[in-house]
Amino acid sequence: MQAEVLNNHDIKVLITGASRGIGLSIATLFKEYGYSVITPTRSELDLSDVGSVRNYVSLHTNDISILINNAGINPLQGILDITYEDYMEVFQTNLFSVLELIKWCVPFWQKKLNGHVINISSIWGSISKPKRLLYGATKSALNNITKNLALELGEYNVLVNAIAPGFINTELTRLNNSFAELEKIKQQIPLKRLAEPLEVAKLAFFLGTQNSFITGQTIHIDGGYICQ
C-alpha cells in the first residue's frame, strides 16, 4: 500500500470546481490515495472567462494525467428569459472551457500514451426538464464530445468518459429545488433517496485509476431515475 501511495504522488489530477460539492468529494478521495491533486480556485481559473482559461494554461506546465472537468453552472431559465450573454456564459463555463483544458492536456498524453478525461455531465443531458434549456444543451454536448474524443484519442490510450449524475445532495441541488420538491423527487427515484457526493466521487476514482477499457461512455449515476 505504501509503495502504491508513493507512486500515486507522481500522478497529477486536475479537478475543476473542487471548492465544494461533487468536486470537493472527488478531490478528497484522490488525495486520500496519495495523488497530486490540483484544484484551482475561481480566482486562479475562471472557466466563464476565456482570458482566464488561456492565461491558466499558458502559465502552467501540462503534465496532468487525469483531467476531471467537474465545474458547472445551472441557471434556471426559460427561453424568454435567456439573453445572448447567458448563452455565452453557460456554454463557456460548461463546455468551451472543457475543450480548452482537454486540448492543453493532449500533447502530454500523446507523449505518455496514457491519459484520462472524466467529464461531469448530468441526467439533463439525456432527458429534459423545463428551465434546464442551456444547462441540458451543454451537458448533451459534453456527452457528444466525450464520444468524439474517445474516437480521436483512442490510439494514444486516452480514455474519455462522462459521468451523468441525477440528484446529488449538494448546494446546487438545494439551490434549484425547494425542500418540498426534493421530498417529492426522492419518491420518484427508484432508490428513494438522493446520492451523496462521495458516491459520484467513487465512480470518478474508478474511471481515473482502475479503468483500462471503458471509453466514450456516459455513465448515469441516478438511482435509476432515467429508467422510468
Ligand X SMILES: NC(=O)c1ccc[n+]([C@@H]2O[C@H](COP(=O)([O-])OP(=O)(O)OC[C@H]3O[C@@H](n4cnc5c(N)ncnc54)[C@H](OP(=O)(O)O)[C@@H]3O)[C@@H](O)[C@H]2O)c1
Residues 6+ apart with CB under 8 A from 132: 74, 76, 124
Point out which span in 108-116, 154-162, 170-178, 185-193 binds ligand X (CB under 6 A).
Answer: 170-178
Among residues 88, 172, 198, 219, the one that binds ligand X under rule CB under 6 A: 172
Among residues 26, 64, 65, 93, the one that binds ligand X under rule CB under 6 A: 93
Point out which span in 76-84, 106-114, 151-159, 167-175 binds ligand X (CB under 6 A).
Answer: 167-175
Among residues 48, 65, 140, 217, the one that binds ligand X under rule CB under 6 A: 48
Q: Which one of 33, 56, 84, 135 is the catalytic residue?
A: 135
Least Å from the CB of residue 93 to ligand X? 5
> Does position 161 bind ligand X by CB under 6 A?
no
Least Å from the CB of residue 36 to ligand X? 19
Among residues 22, 29, 64, 133, the one that binds ligand X under rule CB under 6 A: 22
Q: Count Cβ atoms within 10 A of the Cβ of residue 196 and give its class: 0-12 exposed, 13-18 middle, 19 or more buried.
A: middle
Q: Please say if 35 is a catalytic residue.
A: no
Question: Within a 13 Å sphere around the CA of 172, how many CA atoms are in the beta-carbon half?
Answer: 21
For 197, list phi and psi in degrees, rounded to 5. Answer: -50, -35
Q: At what angle do helices 84-91 and 133-153 cross, to 10 degrees?
A: 40
In 3-state terms, what secondary structure has residue 80? helix
Point out which span in 30-38, 149-157, 163-171, 206-214 binds ligand X (CB under 6 A).
Answer: 163-171
Residues 6+ apart with CB under 8 A from 108: 62, 63, 64, 65, 115
Could you tell me how far CA 212 lies from the centroid of its own chain?
19
State the DSSP code for 95. I
Residues in region 113-152 near ligand X by CB under 6 A: 120, 122
Among residues 19, 148, 178, 188, the one that binds ligand X under rule CB under 6 A: 19
Q: What nine digits make up the cell of 14?
A: 486536475
Residues 6+ apart with CB under 8 A from 79: 133
> Does position 71 bind ligand X by CB under 6 A?
yes
Among residues 38, 50, 57, 73, the one that binds ligand X under rule CB under 6 A: 73
Least Å from the CB of residue 195 to ligand X? 8
**Catalytic residue ranges:** 135
